[in-house]
Amino acid sequence: MAMLSVLFLLSPAFTQSHQHSGKATDTAQAQSTPAPEADPQPARDADASPTVSYHAPTVFTLRTGIATGRMVYIGVGGDIDGQINPTLMVHEGELVQINLINGEGAEHDVVIDQYAARSSIVVGKNASSTFSFTATKVGEFSYFCSIAGHRQAGMEGLIQVMPGQRAAMDTDAADIVRDPADLPGPIGQRPPQVVRVDLETVELTGRLDDGTTYVYWTFDRKVPGPFVRVRVGDTVEVHLKNAADSVMMHSVDFHAATGPGGGADFTQIAPGEEAVVTFQALKPGIYVYHCATPSVAHHITSGMYGLILVEPEGGLPQVDREFYVMQGELYTVEPFGTQGEMEMDYDKLISERPEYFLFNGSVGALTKSHPLYANAGETVRIFFGVGGPNYTSSFHVIGEIFDHVYTLGSVTSPPVAGVQTVTVPPGGATIVDFKIDRGGHYVLVDHALSRAERGLAGYLIVDGPENDDIMHAGPAKKAAE
């Protein structure tokens, strides 16, 4: 089922205007527009309609049981919680996932004839089965148990498929997603110099999902924080300001720095305060930075992490496009998919039981909000890091193979060639690059694929020829006689 959910993500993403942003410092380019070598963003049809309306399946859980002397399905969770043979309401085009739990130990299943969709038969108490289908037909359809006599004994309900897409709930919450194309371009050839980096810690209510918000703690109002780019030998002067309306103290720890706390010992500041710390960029590589104020895990999970690249002398090999992606988790009191304002659950945090797995801070961040865009024939580089605070990522792009992986973020060791999936620990980072040989839609995932059902997926949308010699539907083409 996890793989089915991932395959669903291959559907076209929402089209959008795609903008770059940046901020230059007085002494050096700490943030800038993307590399000038890159072509303009691929053209997108503003009127294009996605195949489906949103990023994840509509999930219903049914438990078998006995009520009023009949065999029934009982809704579990959400709007159907406790309802007998609940009506399942979905919209046209949605991927529907139904989880069946055996509540009393007799044989049961769930069948929807009109969609040729069914679960496995579950026998033992608490045994479960999951299946999915895409709601392509509008109307009312029965779901029922196909075991002889069970439908007649009461195990039947309705699924209603309504025309049109489900409208996203409006919210005044901020868009906290860092556009993956928002990073400064390569430094190139220049001597070492002083680079000033300005960061502001800001606490704000951000959009976690459609109709769902969370109070994020951020660097510069986005998750992840700004991509910092320097070269080996630079002197990095960090000015950290804690917004006056913050509730918490904050700080910053640069894994690229050598010294007490990575700078955190000098930057523990209360709301309204400012601190400065300076360090030498001694070793090239891609490094995480994060808040290091107790509880450190709480500050990190709430969004306080980012990447700093210390380029080697002369820089990295040139590519056409660069992107910035980070993975994290959220530990909320309410379960994944609940609407409203979410609160952090400290017990789940210290027990490592997240409700959400996220790229760039929110569900749908890199599918609906800010997909990655490129053209066929281009080379792409992704700077990928894990804020965490707890889970290791198995980063993978479905349909692509990494030409080069800078293992553990090292840019002084030769990159590994021809890699399918790369392991990145919390507080770690890597760099991958690959040439895109064929147009189409590619999906960024953590190959612990159950996490895709908790928000963790992104799109790489590639304009250009869909080269049939590389892949096509149907059998191999015969060579000309």
Residues at the binding site for Cu cation are: 250, 255, 290-291, 299, 304, 447
For the chain, the straight-line distance linking the first and the last C-alpha, in angstroms and rounded, comes to: 44
Helix, strand or coil for residue 6?
Answer: helix
236 Cβ contact partners less than 8 Å away, ≥ 6 residues apart: 195, 197, 228, 230, 254, 256, 257, 278, 279, 280, 281
| Binding-site residue set | 250, 255, 290-291, 299, 304, 447
Give the span between the Cα atoms of 449 and 216, in whole angstroms.
25
What b-and-e string marks burial along 289-325, b requiring 16 or more CB atoms within 10 Å of the CB? bbbbbeebbbbbbbbbbbbbbbbeeebbeebbbbbbb
* Spatial distance between the Cα atoms of 416 and 404, rounded to a whole number of angstroms: 5
Residue among 433, 348, 422 nearest 386 (CA): 422
* Cis upstream peptide for 224 (omega within 30°): yes
Residues 6+ apart with CB under 8 A from 392: 386, 423, 424, 425, 426
| Token pair in block for residue 195 | 């680079």
- Hey, what are 166's tokens? 């489900």
Phi and psi at residue 451, in whole multiples of 5°? -70, -20
Q: Given CA atoms 396, 451, 357, 386 in this order, what sign does their dihedral have?
A: negative
DSSP 393: E
Q: Are 97 and 129 in contact (CB under 8 A)?
A: no
